[in-house]
Copies of this chain bind each other. A is one copy, B any other.
Amino acid sequence: MHIFDIFSIIGTIAFAMSGAVVAMEEEYDILGVLVLGLVTAFGGGIIRNVLIGVPVTTLWAQGELIMLAVLSIVVAFVLPMSWIRHWKKTEALFDAIGLSAFAIQGALYAYEMKHPISAVLVAAVLTGIGGGMIRDLLAGRKPLVLRDEIYAVWAMLAGLAIGLGFFKSTIGLLLLFVLVVFFRMLSVHYRWTLPRRYLNHGEYGTGTESKSG
């Protein structure tokens, strides 16, 4: 599973930096930036562990990942403005890699513990989006992943595929990984959104957010 370690690393860096950037946008101080970065990188995994019964303390065995996240956050804090703009353009790709790696990892955890498929789905989704949700809460924002382009659905489908036992070999998991990244990037590029419903008008829509609550 060496290849998945690499994905985990990319995902951790991407999530930590996205938390740091959000914190800077909210004008938090360096410690706030650190807290939001760490929470984004590890929050999803912690919630998942609580829900599927993995000891949360396994977190502390991931010393290298924690160090890496701290380093990414510090880098984000000192990065020249032009690089941050550049980062925000390419962020989606790194973030998609993180989403995919984390969702598959989360689903495998739950699957190997012989949890029912509902738990596998929830583990995939929460590992993928949990960190971003806490990040947005701590930044005083509404969770983006619950209203933006299609995001969590790819995590859910990956969880479904694993829960049904479709992808077991390393090759199969790699394929799944690439598929999730690919479809997430398609969602971003074509601004695919999930159906939503505007209660004030009683309409359904998938389009741009023209009416804000």
Q: Which residues of A contact B (CB under 8 A)?
A: 21, 23-33, 35-36, 38, 46, 50-53, 55-57, 59-60, 63, 66-67, 77, 81, 84, 115-116, 118-119, 122, 125, 133, 137-143, 145-148, 151-153, 156, 193-200, 202, 209, 211-213
From the candidates B38, B50, B84, B115, name the one contacting A60 in the complex (CB within 8 A). B115
Q: Which B residues touch A194, using CB under 8 A?
A: 29-31
**Copies in the assembly, this chain:** 3
Q: Which B residues touch A209, using CB under 8 A?
A: 27
The distance from the CB of A163 to the nearest CB of chain B, in whole angstroms, is 12
Asked if residues B146 and A31 are in contact (CB atoms below 8 Å), the reply is yes
Q: Which B residues touch A125, using CB under 8 A?
A: 35
From the candidates B66, B153, B211, name the one contacting A27 in the complex (CB within 8 A). B211
From the candidates B31, B51, B60, B195, name the one contacting A118 in the complex (CB within 8 A). B60
Asked if residues A198 and B27 are in contact (CB atoms below 8 Å), the reply is yes
10 pairs across A/B with beta carbons < 8 Å? A24-B196, A24-B198, A25-B213, A29-B146, A29-B194, A32-B143, A38-B122, A46-B51, A51-B57, A77-B197
